Structures are given as structure tokens and as C-alpha cells.
């Protein structure tokens, strides 16, 4: 198998779209969650979210083309462009047939569907936009990214709800390992902080109702957690075959060394309490990296701040790591970003790469009192300097989908 490395990072998030600013805010425990402003949420039980504020699509996309895109595609294009620039990747010097894109979404163009449905009801089917379908479909983001950068290699989308971004990165890494590409853009994008998106999760009673205190609403692994916080964003990383990256003098963040994917086969939305499915995904990622459980220094947890997820994931980490779970650092950066659904895995993979490169583990903010049985080292409130040589990023999705990817520091 060929070695795969991370050479570029692009993030569009509630913490900002400039990579240095994003990382500084993450390290400092800055919270990007606030009152919903993009629509009137007064009738919702949850009226807070991680919205995208510091992002200007004009920096990446001509205005005429923007009118034909849903926000999730705009975020994907922005994150991909930032990642390519961070990697100093010049596609004019690359074989376009050896470069591909796997950028996914959990939901796709939800705001487009909402707007076009209103037009259909008010004005009839003849007034619906001819761009409605291509704006909505999940795979369009990766297609548009490929068009922008002339990447003619493997290109598809993996839809596994909140595990979509992580599955996409794992699949992209395997594409390079198996020799089908030398360069891949991979990650996820989501723009679901819309009326129907928020209403649907409110109906599930999955969201926090701590509306009067948004900065302290997301409380992963805390006994007072009451649900997750909706967020939008995108995270895309540049993956390259190691020798290819070295030959062009690329700045290498770390190696992407392991990938695990499993299914609970248990329930439509609820995870198994014992965490066996998620644990198997972590075990696969560790083994694929040629590592052992005691080698794991840090886990960027799925950590949604829901009663079921946090208890299950804690059990899963204990199952996967055994005695080593007593010393591993675990944090949920969703406490600061909110839950970006299909984009979460892309952003959190970027965080793992930055953690290894910079030697700083971001905190779990708002972790005041551990919940019952939640007794791991969740890096509460304050970031921690640490020499992280190997870490995992976990993502779990409705349908019982589990994914874990391993990142290794290069010697």
C-alpha cells in the first residue's frame, strides 16, 4: 500500500474560514454558537445554531454562478479552494486524470428544496427553477469542485448522514493507497440550518433548548447536556501519495494511516448502548495504521452532547482501547463549532491534522461536571500542549453508520 499524507486544509465554519483564525479560536475555547439569524426561529424549540458568518462566496465564485448553487455547494467550493491554496497545489503541473474529489453531504441542498417547494405551491410547477435538481443533489458539490480545479480522476459522494465527511476521507485515502489517484480532495459540506432542517431535528427532540445561553448550550460528556447544536460549514483536506508530495516540496501535516467503517445494524437513529459498532471502527482504523491501542494519544470524538451518543461513545473508546483508555485524551470540538452533520468529519479531520502539526489538543468547553459513567480525560475547558503522534477522528451517523480515521505524525 502507498503512503497517504495530508498537505492542505480548508475550513468554512462557525469559527471562521481563515485557517489561522479558526485554529486560534479553537485553541482558546472560543464558541461559535449563537441565536439563529438566517430565519425567524421564534416557533422552534431550539433557536440557536452555529451559523456561517465570516465567509464571502464572492471570493471564490462569480456572482452569476452563485445563483445556480445551494449554500452547501458554495461552502464546499470555498473550503476546497482554501485547501488547494494551503497545499500550494498547482493543477497546471499535475495530471488531471490522477486527481479526484470525494466531497459529500448528509442532506445536500435543503434550502433549495424549501424555496422551490414554496414556489411550486404559490405559482405552480412551471415556475420551478430548471436548476432545482442540480442545486439539490449531494454529488453536485464534488462535481463543481472538480470543474473548478480540473480534477478528472475518481469523483463521487458518500452519504452516511453525520459520518459522510469521514467516510469520504477514508475512501479518498484508499483511492490513493490502491494506486487509482495521486491527489484527492476529500471532506464534507452542509448547510442545514434552515427552517425545515431545524424543525426536523426539533421534532426528533435531538437539539438543545438552552436558548438563553447559546455559548454554554453544547456540553459534550457533561451531566447537564440536553442535545446537540445545529451548524453549517465545510471541511476539505488535500490528500497526496507521499512520494508525490515530497517530489513537489509540499508542506506535510501528517500521514492519514488508518480507516474503519462499520454498522450497528440496530436502530434508525439510536446507537447501541455498548458502543460495539463504533469500537470496531476504531479498532479497524488502529490496525490499518499498523498501531496498537496504547499508541492512541488523542481521540477527536463525535461528542454530540446528546445523552445517548456521549455515553455510547465513551463505552466504545473503552472497548477499543482497553486499559489505554484511562490515559487517552478525548475532546469534542463540537462544543465550539456545533454539529455540522455531513461536514463534521471533514472539519474534525482538519482539526486532527492541525493537532499533530502544532502539538496542541483542543478542549471540550462547557464540560463542568462529568455525566454518570463518563470518566475519560475529556480535556475540559482548556487546550493542552501535547506531542500527539497518533490520533483518531470518530463520526457516527443515523442508520448506525460508524467511521473512524487515524492520523499519524511523520517521523
- Provide the annotated active-site residues: 162, 302, 339
Task: Please work out, in degrees rounded to the nearest 5, the angle formed at the alpha carbon of residue 18 by the alpha carbons of 368 and 143.
Answer: 110
CA-CA distance, 255 to 239, in Å (whole number)?
9
C-alpha cell at 77: 467550493
Q: Which residue has the cell 462569480?
A: 62
Asked if 289 and 408 touch (Cβ cutoff 8 Å), the reply is: yes
What distances in angstroms separate CA 38 from CA 114, 191, 201, 228, one per listed residue? 14, 11, 17, 19
Residues in a beta bridge with 380 = 364
> 391, 407 in Cβ contact below 8 A?
yes
CB neighbour list of residue 117: distance below 8 Å, 6 or more residues apart: none
Decide: 136 and 108 in contact? Cβ < 8 Å. Answer: yes
Contacts of 158 (CB under 8 A, 6+ apart): 102, 104, 164, 167, 168, 171
**For residues 103 and 164, what is the distance between their CA atoms, to the nearest angstrom?**
9
- Lookup: cell for 354: 492541525
With a CB cutoff of 8 Å and minimum separation 6, the contacts of 249 are none
Residue 381 DSSP class: S
Q: Are 43 and 278 in contact (CB under 8 A)?
A: no
Q: Do 394 and 299 contact (CB within 8 A), yes or no?
A: yes
φ, ψ for residue 183 (rounded to 5)?
-135, 135
Q: Tell me the residue ranges of DSSP E strands in 154-202.
A: 183-190
Q: Quick check: helix, strand or coil at residue 5? A: strand
Amino acid at each position: 500500500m502507498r503512503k497517504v499524507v495530508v498537505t492542505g486544509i480548508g475550513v468554512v465554519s462557525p469559527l471562521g474560514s481563515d485557517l489561522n483564525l479558526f485554529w486560534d479560536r479553537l485553541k482558546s475555547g472560543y464558541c461559535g454558537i449563537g441565536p439563529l439569524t438566517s430565519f425567524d426561529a421564534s416557533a422552534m424549540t431550539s433557536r440557536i445554531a452555529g451559523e456561517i458568518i465570516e465567509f464571502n462566496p464572492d471570493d471564490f465564485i462569480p456572482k452569476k454562478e452563485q445563483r445556480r448553487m445551494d449554500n452547501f455547494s458554495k461552502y464546499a467550493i470555498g473550503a476546497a479552494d482554501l485547501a488547494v491554496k494551503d497545499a500550494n497545489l498547482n493543477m497546471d503541473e499535475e495530471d488531471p486524470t490522477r486527481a479526484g474529489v470525494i466531497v459529500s453531504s448528509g442532506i445536500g441542498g435543503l434550502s433549495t428544496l424549501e424555496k422551490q417547494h414554496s414556489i411550486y405551491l404559490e405559482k405552480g410547477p412551471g415556475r420551478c427553477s430548471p436548476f432545482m435538481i442540480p442545486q439539490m443533489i449531494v454529488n453536485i458539490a464534488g462535481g463543481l469542485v472538480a470543474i473548478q480545479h480540473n480534477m478528472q480522476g475518481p469523483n463521487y459522494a458518500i452519504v452516511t448522514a453525520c459520518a459522510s465527511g469521514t467516510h469520504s476521507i477514508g475512501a479518498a485515502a484508499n483511492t490513493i493507497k490502491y494506486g487509482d489517484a495521486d491527489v484527492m480532495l476529500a471532506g464534507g459540506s452542509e448547510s442545514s440550518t434552515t427552517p425545515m432542517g431545524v424543525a426536523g431535528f426539533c421534532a426528533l427532540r435531538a437539539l438543545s433548548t438552552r436558548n438563553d445561553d447559546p455559548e454554554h448550550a453544547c456540553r459534550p460528556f457533561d451531566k447537564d447536556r440536553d442535545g446537540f447544536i445545529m451548524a453549517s460549514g465545510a471541511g476539505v483536506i488535500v490528500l497526496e501519495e507521499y512520494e508525490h508530495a515530497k517530489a513537489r516540496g509540499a508542506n506535510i501535516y501528517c500521514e492519514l494511516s488508518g480507516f474503519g467503517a462499520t454498522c450497528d445494524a440496530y436502530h434508525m437513529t439510536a446507537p447501541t448502548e455498548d458502543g460495539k459498532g463504533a469500537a470496531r471502527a476504531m479498532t479497524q482504523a488502529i490496525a490499518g495504521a499498523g498501531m496498537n491501542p496504547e499508541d492512541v494519544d488523542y481521540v477527536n470524538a463525535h461528542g454530540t452532547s446528546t445523552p445517548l451518543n456521549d455515553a455510547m461513545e465513551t463505552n466504545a473508546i473503552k472497548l477499543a482501547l482497553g486499559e489505554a483508555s484511562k490515559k487517552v485524551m478525548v475532546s469534542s470540538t463540537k462544543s465550539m463549532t456545533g454539529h455540522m452533520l455531513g461536514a463534521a468529519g471533514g472539519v474534525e479531520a482538519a482539526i486532527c491534522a492541525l493537532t499533530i502539526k502544532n502539538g496542541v489538543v483542543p478542549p471540550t468547553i462547557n464540560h463542568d461536571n462529568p455525566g454518570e459513567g463518563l470518566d475519560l480525560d475529556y480535556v475540559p475547558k482548556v487546550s493542552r500542549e501535547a506531542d500527539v503522534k497518533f490520533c483518531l477522528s470518530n463520526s457516527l451517523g443515523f442508520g448506525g453508520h460508524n467511521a473512524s480515521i487515524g492520523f499519524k505524525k511523520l517521523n
